[in-house]
Structure 1
């Protein structure tokens, strides 16, 4: 990625599954790789897709193997509406929920999220709720060590309820 897109842009390619079914001591007739592409700018999408296709076809040509690629552009970039997000932050802060000790902007993120489709249709704000099981134990989602503290569900519900009520009671422009 670092050699193929603008260094000020963000993109990641992860091959999370490499599966060659069969005996451990024989060359496999076929292997299957599965991965995930994440990006922060829709203009980068086609560049990454083209480059992955070029690399896959190059490996196939180099080793004389057939490459079948199924590339699914399934999630758009998730974009928060800045004004709505600030309203959400302000309403959660003013709700004075004792369990919420920090509210901060974690900067641009690149989740593969269904919520991105809602954000394309309506002004939206995607937030994370911290779910540490113990102080200092922070394992991100999709990590093999991730363990959610289920108490965060009630805290997140209070935060969203407060934000929803504040937005519903706000005067319309």
Structure 2
């Protein structure tokens, strides 16, 4: 397989760089989807477009014999960030760039599709290649594709994320909770504005917001089981236009990250009670708007063990990282709620060459990591189909 990867690698680098130069935001991936569809058609796959009513694309590879189906997924969307890199493949779209590696995900999976299409005589079963739009913007593209039935006949699903925090040559994952549920909240405080020198005639929404920001932290520290992970972060406060005018209103924007549904529900409840109580104590009105985002990414044990064993084969024991849960969110979670599978990280960091991390204007990847990603995904697909076909054969013998 390594020879096949080396053969396809220059083409995959070219695709990744083209996508990096021509990024498209969530729900706008029209040209990206067209490029993906054409590549899949050129290598003889059965292609569907506009899957999920969005710009989703699937490619279906039939092996030489009928059997189980494994799905491999990549996301395609970019972010509203200005590309500040000085490189030949810098984004040509003002204010838009691939700042999270989705261009690399798409290119890597196209490489896997090409490799496995040349091995179809060795494949017992089917491989479904899923190219998903809108991972970065809830409600996201995964749930739309799931609702469209894209994984209804799938026996297992796998996905990777190129991860700049880890150096190239490493692979990380874990069984169970891997990535957090990611929710957003907005608190709108309606006070009473007036002269800053006469505060007793006002209801100061900034003072109320200050109390709320501090008190919100007590939800995690004093009202959530310390054995359960949770994060509440206030990330933006909007209020006022002048140094001597108390404003009428103030807005607080933040995010909540959890792994446990019960913890998530309790935080929502406590946020509401805290807003109401603190608002009333100052004679103000506090309105909470809570936007539920993606569920937590929870890997299934058996597929994850398969990934772990193959990862060790690919990068060695020293290159495999047994991860702790991390707080970023991912809508691959919707696929895992429907089908057994596993999500994992492939290190793409070159710390001497690239300084920007994910969602940063200087973000970039070490393209050599795509070789590791291709080998891992292709091998996972092949071994999963082999294992599933063997299990079916053994079950059929027992039934006779």
Look up the match of 2:67. none
Aligned equivalents of 1:25, 1:150: Cα separation in 2: 51
Q: Which runs of 5+ in 1 are unaligned?
A: none
The offset of 1:41, in angstroms, is 1.3
1:88 to 287, 307, 317: 307
Look up the match of 1:28. 247
Look up the match of 1:109. 326
* 1:40–1:109 Cα contact (<8 Å) kept: no
Aligned equivalents of 2:279, 2:364: Cα separation in 1: 42
Residues 9 and 55 (structure 1), Cα distance of their counterparts in 2 relative to 1, 3 Å cut: same
Look up the match of 1:42. 261
The offset of 1:166, in angstroms, is 2.3
1:59 to 278, 281, 297: 278
Aligned equivalents of 1:138, 1:107: Cα separation in 2: 24
The structure where strand makes up a greater share of residues is 2
Q: Which runs of 5+ in 2 are unaligned?
A: 1-219, 392-400
1:127-158 Cα distance to aligned partner (Å, 9 max, x none): 122232316x887645x687332423443333
* 1:12–1:38 Cα contact (<8 Å) kept: yes
Residues 60 and 82 (structure 1), Cα distance of their counterparts in 2 relative to 1, 3 Å cut: same
Aligned equivalents of 2:283, 2:387: Cα separation in 1: 64
Residues 103 and 72 (structure 1), Cα distance of their counterparts in 2 relative to 1, 3 Å cut: same
Look up the match of 1:10. 229
Aligned equivalents of 2:338, 2:308: Cα separation in 1: 21
Aligned equivalents of 2:267, 2:336: Cα separation in 1: 23
* 1:139–1:147 Cα contact (<8 Å) kept: yes
SS, match of residue 38 in structure 1: strand
Matched, 1:133 2:337: no
The offset of 1:62, in angstroms, is 2.4
Aligned equivalents of 1:102, 1:134: Cα separation in 2: 16
- Greater Rg by CA: 2
Quick check: 115-124 or 101-110, which moved more? 101-110
Quick check: 37-46 or 26-35, which moved more? 26-35
Matched residue pairs, number?
169
* 1:15–1:35 Cα contact (<8 Å) kept: yes
Residues 91 and 57 (structure 1), Cα distance of their counterparts in 2 relative to 1, 3 Å cut: same
1:46-105 Cα distance to aligned partner (Å, 9 max, x none): 1111111122222211222221211122222221001110101212322x359x961122
Q: TM-score, normalised by structure 1?
A: 0.81
Residues 49 and 120 (structure 1), Cα distance of their counterparts in 2 relative to 1, 3 Å cut: same
Look up the match of 1:149. 365
Aligned equivalents of 2:370, 2:245: Cα separation in 1: 48
* 1:17–1:35 Cα contact (<8 Å) kept: yes
Q: CA RMSD in A?
A: 2.8
